[in-house]
Amino acid sequence: MKHTLEYFGVRLLDLFFGLLGPRLSMPVACALGTLLYWTVSKKRQIALNNLKLAFGDTLTEHDRETIVRKAFQNLTMNAAEFCLTPRLHAKGILDDRVKIEGAEIFLEALSEQKGAILIGAHYSNWELAGYVISTNITPAHTVARTLKNSKVDKWVNSIRGKSGQVVVPKVGALRSMIKLFREGKLLVFLLDQHAGDKGIPIDFFGHPAFTFDSVAMLSKRFNVPVIFGYDRRIDNTFKHVMTVVTRIDPGDTSVEELTIRYTKLIEAVIREKPELWLWMHRRWKESNPSRRARKQEAAEH
């Protein structure tokens, strides 16, 4: 029953923003974001603590509160845009709201017919980025967790699929990824979430954060380039600039050094406009040391 109610709530929200359209949806979404900022106290405090850890005393308490409030607003604007994106795409006017810079980096890598990996972060509107890349450059194959609510998960993936995007479930993804690389496809990973015991500690804003090293391992194992890019919202509007920054070939660089490089790229973008990042996530959550010790001991034997 709970999942059914959640599903109908999501569909009502989709209908609501669809009726409002882009011009009215953004201020309404901002207001909803402000409401969430004041009512979801646990997530607000996690975000404020994260900002304090990342920036120390370089930000005042007022600065941190402003950034977190804007981060909540960005999240709700993302939700509105997720509902509006397929409607604008169907009308042929989505590209009027999104500019892509550096697409030639994509095209060059994909022309080599050995596949490529795009990495990004939960920054600005990451869902819109996957949609627009799929409609304008090449279908993205996005590695993502399956949502707990199967009805919502199916609906979300149906929206993604309207762009040609394909979702690759994280569980058991390796076999699918090998096939996709052989076909010269593009895989997409968001590399800014807590990896727990599946990751390695990498410096992020001056503090160790457990980070997935699987992207670097895949890049080296299959000799495929990693492309880094990000989206950035223009003010509080449905206007975006998506920037493809650089291409990183694995070469002789170690998995750890590659992961450090990826993480530094993400950090640099977040530092420029921190209000667009998902500060509500417990990025610096401690991993279980006993489990890590057992895992390391098993690897040595």
Taking only the tens place, the pLDDT of each residue in 35-44 is 999 999 999 9
Q: Once rounded to an integer, what is the mean pLDDT over residues 203-207?
A: 96
Q: Are 211 and 140 in contact (CB under 8 A)?
A: no
Q: Answer whether residue 301 shows pLDDT above 80.
A: no
Q: Once rounded to an integer, what is the mean pLDDT over residues 77-94?
A: 96
Q: Per-residue pLDDT tens for 227-267?
A: 999 999 999 999 999 999 999 999 999 999 999 999 999 99
Q: Per-residue pLDDT tens for 131-146?
A: 999 999 999 999 888 8
Q: Answer whether residue 167 shows pLDDT above 50.
A: yes
How far, CA to CA in Å, does 180 sit from each of 121, 141, 143, 171, 219?
22, 8, 12, 16, 13
* Of 258, 250, 263, 260, the residue nearest 109 (C-alpha): 250
How far, CA to CA in Å, does 174 sit from each of 170, 242, 249, 251, 254?
8, 28, 20, 22, 21
Q: Per-residue pLDDT tens for 100-112?
A: 999 999 899 999 9
Q: Cα–Cα distance between 211 and 195 in angstroms, integer?
A: 5
Q: How sure is the predictor about 2, in pLDDT bands with cuts at 50, 70 and 90? A: confident
Q: Cα–Cα distance between 90 and 154 in angstroms, integer?
A: 20
- Is the sign of the CA dihedral 82, 84, 87, 90 positive or negative? negative
Q: Answer whether residue 61 shows pLDDT above 90.
A: yes
* Of 194, 202, 230, 198, the residue nearest 118 (C-alpha): 230
Q: Which residues touch 156 (CB under 8 Å, ≥6 apart)?
A: 147
Q: Are 118 and 186 in contact (CB under 8 A)?
A: yes
